[in-house]
Structure 1
Amino acid sequence: MSSLAGCRPEVIVVGAGAAGAAAAFHLARLGRDVLVLDSATFPRTKPCGGGMAASVQRWFPFDLRPAVDTVIERVRFSWALGDPVLAELPGEAPFWIVRRSRLDAYLIEQAQGVGARLACGMAVEGLETTPGGWSVQVREPGGARLALQAQAVVLADGSGSRLAAPLGLGPRQPRFAATVSVELEGPVLDPAAARFDFGLVRHGFCWAFPRQGGYSIGLGSFVGRDGLEENAVLAELLPSLGFSADAGVRTRGRLRLWNGHYPLHGAGLVVAGDAASLCDPFLAEGLRPALLSGCEAAAAVDRWLGGEPEALAAYSAVMRRVWGDSMAWGRRIAQVFYRVPRVGYQLGIKRPTAPRRIAQILSGELGYGDIAQRVIRRLLLQRS
């Protein structure tokens, strides 16, 4: 018999990544009976640049720094590896680089420390409503199937989620950015500098984040359906970092981009993280909205279980206000910038105030709405 047979938690969290682990921690800390299901076994690797603002620390009562590989002090922007801009990050907006294998495992350990349970190797195949909440259909590692009952469910099953859209959560047809991640082991030129290049990738950019013992490299294309041509891009990028053109372990993927305002809740149900299509459509930031949504989802579910019927609708409203409204402007900037990236680099990135503005956006001090109208007007005027 399954070890989960007869298990009836108050909340089932589907996915133990950043959003799911954050939700599980806060729910368990509030005294809720929480079961986290994940198809993988921890610790597990996950393709991700791993960049996040240190400002996320304010959402957690424990120190996140044990999961941090590198503290970024400056950013190097370039156009096709030339025409560089080196910017020191302001002290109030530091940037962290983490390995997802370490961060996710650390967060779920914190959740377990306050009472959440974790079941690995559990593939969630569907959800059905019941008179008491939800029935979660699970396939165990050996292939056996069982149905788990819970009053509420947090969906946090990542960019590849097939559960959210059929339940009316997020966009029915998500928009994706094509990505390639490369993990490099070897010497780092400047361990305190993150690199962004806007000239090598058509309709996108590439990044190189230093971490302990190497780099996390990423390529992303955000407009249109052009291929990344990753071999040609990496043949230029990697030698500039001191590596051979064929170095590193490469993984293709997709980022589920923010693409409009949609409900993120249902009856006893919320979606968080990448499954909620929260990734920044301009700078590809995904970790901060994942952690933010996990924390907000937990607070909403706790209030809903406590008898506040409008708490889950309030979660959708909060995420729209604190994240979606900014991303609506970020999408507009991306649509203009990545169609005329050379102009965007000259008129945007190379402006004296741009690095600080980018740092403030990544830290949450500013939203895209604070700069969007000026940026879009400048780009459109130059384009015309």
Structure 2
Amino acid sequence: MDAEVIVIGGGPAGAAAAFHLAARGRAVLLLEREPAGRGKPCGGGMAASVQRWFPFDLSPAVEQVIRRVRFSWCLEDPVVAELPGDAPFWIVRRARLDAFLAEQAVAAGGRLLQPLAAERLERQQGLWRVGLSDGEMLTSRAVVIADGSGSRLAGAHGLGPARPRYAATVSVEVEGEVAEPDTARFEFGLVHHGFCWAFPRQGGWSIGVGTFIGQQEADSEAVLSALLPSLGLPGDAGVRHRGQLRVWDGHHPLHGSGEAGTGLLVAGDAASLCDPFLAEGLRPSLLSGCRAAEALDLWLAGDEGAPAAYSQRLRSEWGESMAWGRRIAQVFYRLPKVGYQLGIKRPTAPRRIAQILSGEMGYGDIAQRAIRRLLFQKS
């Protein structure tokens, strides 16, 4: 046996799981298919509250601290909300965050194989067998699938939704001066069934366009040619990277069942945890990676119910809020102008959204009233 646990995917969920397993004394092997330092399309927004899940300081991976959020409709009619707390929202570069977490996992005793992809996963004679892109076969007692939005392994083993729902995105990294480096921007109105975001980072911007209903891609060039000049940037600045976000779309098992699935968990984007309204993905990825490690440590110690408890815990800690977030998104993105006027522009709404982004509040705390207002206006 090569390891007690093999973690497939070295993103935030996988690296977090690998660290916590190694820190608990487990023999863990982390597989990452991309070479070290390769950039990954991601806005990089992350609630500072994730720090409580790690015993080491995350600040080396943080590029910018966000203290306020600016909302606008077609680049006008702005609303600004102050974020609560001393360091409520962070901007990170995914390549740096992933590498930093992987370094912590290795320092705790884990092993990292990079770049090396897991091509297949099967269970034989009480062990998991992971076939690698170089032809090698590894074995372990347990596996965490954390191979991202494009995961082929999760669905093949009955984990997460059988038919994942995706949001289409275009990401742009742009160098340039940032006038308000502590302000994140959310722009509604330019994108049909979606929104734009502009997050300041060191020396520039992380900018994105997302479409959340229908999976069709927005006319990103037209959107960016309007958005970028509003930030003092040329309309054609930056290189476009197209991608998909695997958004939350219902409660589904995140653990394998029966002998064929024993010791198997899914975490992060592969588990379809991304916020369906505001596209937050890093916080649920880190949360699920930490909880997966806790569950497998208990399971390896003899607690047979720990994997099922993992699914239930993610449901209560994240999924129940996202169920309300999905309802809000379905109404808001079909009636975005009404949603902006009755939702974002309400005196208390920006503060509530800021609290959701900072992790202080869930969608269930605001959803029923917000949906009633939107549906009443529609009727």
Q: Shared topology, TM-score over 0.5?
A: yes
SS in structure 2 at match of 1:303: helix
User: What is the match of residue 54 of structure 2?
Assistant: 60
Q: Quote the offset at 1:92 in angstroms.
A: 5.6
User: What is the match of residue 176 of structure 1?
Assistant: 166
Tell me whether 1:337 sits opposite 2:327 in the alignment: no
User: What is the match of residue 142 of structure 2?
Assistant: 152
Write out per-residue CA displacement over residues 318-347 of structure 1, whole angstroms, 9 at most, x where no aligned residue: 000111111111000000000000000011
Counterpart contact for 1:132–1:150, Cα < 8 Å: no
Distance verdict in 2 for CA 1:225–1:289, change over 3 Å: closer
Letter in structure 1 aligned against 2:36:
F
Q: Quote the offset at 1:132 in angstroms.
A: 2.7
Q: Quote the offset at 1:90 in angstroms.
A: 1.9
Q: Quote the offset at 1:365 in angstroms.
A: 1.9
Q: Quote the offset at 1:259 in angstroms.
A: 0.4
Tell me whether 1:46 sits opposite 2:40 in the alignment: yes
Tell me whether 1:79 sits opposite 2:69 in the alignment: no
Distance verdict in 2 for CA 1:260–1:214, change over 3 Å: same
The structure 2 residue matched to 1:306, chosen from 301, 304, 315, is 301
Write out per-residue CA displacement over residues 240-292 of structure 1, whole angstroms, 9 at most, x where no aligned residue: 11111111011000000000111000111000000000000000000000000
Identity rate, percent: 70
Q: Quote the offset at 1:93 in angstroms.
A: 6.4
TM normalised by structure 2 equals 0.97
SS in structure 2 at match of 1:161: coil
User: What is the match of residue 245 of structure 1?
Assistant: 235
Letter in structure 2 aligned against 1:168:
G
Tell me whether 1:235 sits opposite 2:243 in the alignment: no
Q: Which moved more, 1:205-214 or 1:39-48?
A: 39-48
TM normalised by structure 1 equals 0.96
User: What is the match of residue 360 of structure 2?
Assistant: 365
Counterpart contact for 2:147–2:270, Cα < 8 Å: yes
Alignment length (residue pairs): 374
SS in structure 1 at match of 2:3: coil
Letter in structure 1 aligned against 2:304:
P
Alignment of 1:13-32 (within 5 A): 13-32=7-26
Counterpart contact for 2:65–2:87, Cα < 8 Å: no
SS in structure 2 at match of 1:284: coil
SS in structure 1 at match of 2:153: coil
Q: Quick one: distance in 2 between partners of 1:92 and 1:168?
A: 42
Q: Quick one: distance in 2 between partners of 1:73 and 1:12?
A: 38
Counterpart contact for 1:54–1:95, Cα < 8 Å: yes
User: What is the match of residue 253 of structure 2?
Assistant: 263
SS in structure 2 at match of 1:247: coil
Letter in structure 2 aligned against 1:203:
H
Tell me whether 1:289 sits opposite 2:284 in the alignment: yes
Q: Quote the offset at 1:111 in angstroms.
A: 0.6
Tell me whether 1:326 sits opposite 2:321 in the alignment: yes
Q: Quick one: distance in 1 between partners of 2:131 and 2:182?
A: 46
Q: Which moved more, 1:249-258 or 1:357-366?
A: 357-366
SS in structure 2 at match of 1:151: strand
Letter in structure 2 aligned against 1:146:
E
The structure 1 residue matched to 2:2, chosen from 4, 8, 12, is 8
Tell me whether 1:125 sits opposite 2:119 in the alignment: yes
Q: Quick one: distance in 2 between partners of 1:218 and 1:283?
A: 12
Q: Quote the offset at 1:356 in angstroms.
A: 1.5
Q: Quick one: distance in 2 between partners of 1:376 and 1:89?
A: 23
Unmatched 5+ residue regions in structure 2? 257-261
Kindly report the root-mean-square deviation, in angstroms, between the aligned alpha carbons of the 2 structures. 1.0
Counterpart contact for 1:133–1:268, Cα < 8 Å: no
Q: Which moved more, 1:221-230 or 1:22-31?
A: 221-230
Q: Quote the offset at 1:139 in angstroms.
A: 1.1
Counterpart contact for 1:278–1:286, Cα < 8 Å: yes
Counterpart contact for 2:165–2:246, Cα < 8 Å: yes
Q: Quick one: distance in 1 between partners of 2:366 and 2:21?
A: 36
Counterpart contact for 2:69–2:354, Cα < 8 Å: no
Tell me whether 1:97 sits opposite 2:97 in the alignment: no
Q: Quick one: distance in 1 between partners of 2:87 and 2:113?
A: 36
Q: Quick one: distance in 1 between partners of 2:217 and 2:112?
A: 38
